[in-house]
Chain A
Amino acid sequence: MPIQTHRSDDRHTLTIRIEGRFDFSTHQAFRNAYEQKDPEVKEFIVDLSRTTYLDSSALGMLLLLRDYAGGDGARIELRNCNNDVRRILTISNFEQLFSIQ
């Protein structure tokens, strides 16, 4: 599976891990991963450690997640991105919207 999810033990944090290319082809799976209508989830972690490439449509999908999680009040962390992925995020000023680790 290119997208895997994991709930923390206290069930408040949902980790979404994307493997390989993060582009339009993962759209539906990515949306399914976070749209669980579960009020317990308070924080999202997007684990990009296995993401090799990210394009502009993925940026759009991250923004969808942000709005889903409450817009400006959303708690979303993008983790373990490689240099190329980080560069795309930086160029797009995404560090203003997400916590990028």
Chain B
Amino acid sequence: MTGENHALRILIADDSDSDRLILKTLMKRLGHQVRAAANGSEAVAIFADYQADIVLLDVLMPIMDGITAARKIKDMAGEEWVPVIFLTSLTDSSALARCLDAGGDDFLTKPYNKVIIQAKLGAFNRMRQMHQTLSQQRDLISERNRQLLEEQQLAKRVFDNIAHTGCLDADNIRSHVSPLSIFNGDILFACPRPAGGMHVLIGDFTGHGLPAAIGALPIAEIFYGMTSMGFSGSDVLREINDKSGRILPTGMFCCAAMIQADFQLNQLRIWNGGLPDGVLFRKGGGRDLVISRHLPLGVLNASRFDAAMDVFHTSAGDTLLMMTDGVLEAENEEAERFGEDRLKHALDVAPDAEAPIDTLLGAIRSFTGEQSGQDDLTLVSLEMVVASQFHEAAERLPQSALKGPAQWYCVYEVRDDTLAQFSPLPLLLHICMEVPGLRRKSADIYTLLSELYTNALEHGVLDLSSDLKTSPDGFSYYYSERERRLENVTGHFIRFALTHSTTLNGGQLTITCEDSGRGFDHGRQFAPESPVDSDSSEAKYSGRGLLLMQKLGHSLCYSEYGSRAEIVYDWALATKQPGVGHE
């Protein structure tokens, strides 16, 4: 009760000199600061530069009455709340009520009672302080909210920059994404694969807001990074699951579906972990459901995670529709949910000519009513197309082929027991994939690196002869020897040197691989031009690595008795002809 007794600034207006003096003296004795006026007009003038905390006004005054003055003072106070108490000798209740109707907050009846006055001032001061606190908090909240919206817009720009390389605008994809979807925890990415076809990832994080948006960022990076390097949908899923498991708190995970579309094989591979059933509309009629068979991403650890994708054989014109939970959870004004039955019904009665995604969106909109600007749902539809048509989209990748690192050289050497524990191949592939024009060739580059490494390790460092591989048991012996010798490697190295330079219409990658071994008889190994050499059964199960490298690269030569190999790989910017990629 201490706070209410501190000095208040009080403004009194009363045309009766004696009443005014009595009140003023009383107030001063209570320890308050007082300014006094003889009418409403004077009171308004004083209020203009005297920031009164509480105003006491006589109702009936000459020049300007209390009621008019009260209105003016309230106007001048603006958002600040200044209690106005009317002073009156009136006693009938309707007159008193009129005082309050006119904007007064309370009244004091004459003659004054010191105890009542003191109590009322205290009460009004408490209310005034509470009002002040509320106003400050309201201002703080609205300022914070403004900052938050600004940050969200900024975050969305950052997010879009990371997710921008997508091909969601491809002709065969249609999608609906909530305006601020990343803060609903929804994600939708699409990326062409270097070997043709595309990946689409649609998902829904548990939880909303910032945590979901932050969780989505590494997923976008992994998805686009690995897809454009040529990794399969399962590989991408494994990596995303692993990363999500590590960065997300327990209880937060991502329901998602990964779609790998292959237009050449006419095949869809789909992994559904926790999203509603997807629907595959067959061109000739009929539908297949794409059921969730897996736990969401970020739940299981790597050893228990199952990245197997369901395979659907398709034909051009088949359309896949996938959606997040938001579709089933969309509510109408009566707080009913759209639900599975309505979903099924909407698709059942859909006219053939209409795209399923339009049918469904239409049904949801008419269910939720027109106020559905705040929807929280993501849908994507993907149409299977003739392979040659999609090449256009895949070939868009290398437009920036010459923008990335083009002229460079690097050496990487693996030594001693590291040879037994570590494969340098992913790292080397990664370096090569920094060249945008090489990304479409990731499978070739990986095969070249891998075959070179295998030869250097097995024939060079481990000194294993392919001659062992002439029988099934020889094969087994070869690989058990490999394991045994690998455990005891000392004083050895394998050194890769990669050089990249640009050419008129593309680039050239030179890979040399040297090892510390004694070399091997590469000349004899070149022999099997036909897959099976019918003349001699000798060495027929081996030597195919060299053949592969010869055919993929533009030249392959061995030197230093086989302990140094050099491959030159030329690549060219894609031309507009369809069918690029079938060499």
B531 to A24, Cβ gap below 8 A? no
Once the chains are docked, how many angstroms separate the CA of A75 from the CA of B574?
A: 39
Picked from B232, B311, B443, the residue with its CB within 8 Å of the CB of A87 is B443
A97 to B262, Cβ gap below 8 A? no
Whose C-beta in chain A lies nearest to the C-beta of B231? Answer: A52
Picked from A31, A56, A82, A84, the residue with its CB within 8 Å of the CB of B475 is A31
Number of contacting residues on B, CB 8 A? 37
Picked from A27, A56, A82, A97, the residue with its CB within 8 Å of the CB of B232 is A82
Q: Which residues of A contact B545 (CB under 8 A)?
A: 55-57
Once the chains are docked, how many angstroms separate the CA of A27 from the CA of B472?
A: 10
Q: Mark A24-55, 1 if CB is under 8 A from B, else 0.
A: 10011001000100000000000001101101
* Interface bin, chain A: 20 to 34
Residue A8 is within 8 A (CB to CB) of chain B in the complex: no
Picked from B308, B532, B542, B552, the residue with its CB within 8 Å of the CB of A50 is B308
Residue B524 is within 8 A (CB to CB) of chain A in the complex: no
Residue B476 is within 8 A (CB to CB) of chain A in the complex: yes
Picked from B196, B469, B476, B548, the residue with its CB within 8 Å of the CB of A91 is B548
Residue B507 is within 8 A (CB to CB) of chain A in the complex: no
Q: Is the interface of B mostly helix, strand, loop or mixed?
A: helix
Residue B479 is within 8 A (CB to CB) of chain A in the complex: yes
Binds A, one of B201-209, B346-354, B446-454: B446-454
B311 to A55, Cβ gap below 8 A? no
Within 8 A of A (CB), among B187-236: 195-197, 230-232, 234-235
Q: How far is the CB of B387 from chain A (nearest CB, A)?
A: 10
Whose C-beta in chain B lies nearest to the C-beta of A27? Answer: B479
Q: Mark B242-262, 1 if CB is under 8 A from A, else 0.
A: 000000000000000000001
A24 to B482, Cβ gap below 8 A? yes
A56 to B230, Cβ gap below 8 A? no
A60 to B542, Cβ gap below 8 A? yes
Known: A91-B552, A92-B531, A97-B532. 19 other contacts (CB 8 A): A27-B476, A28-B479, A52-B231, A52-B232, A55-B447, A55-B545, A57-B545, A60-B469, A60-B542, A68-B472, A83-B195, A84-B195, A87-B443, A91-B551, A92-B544, A93-B530, A93-B531, A96-B530, A96-B531
Chain A residues in contact with chain B, CB under 8 A?
A: 19, 24, 27-28, 31, 35, 49-50, 52-53, 55-57, 59-61, 63-64, 68, 80, 82-84, 87-88, 91-94, 96-97
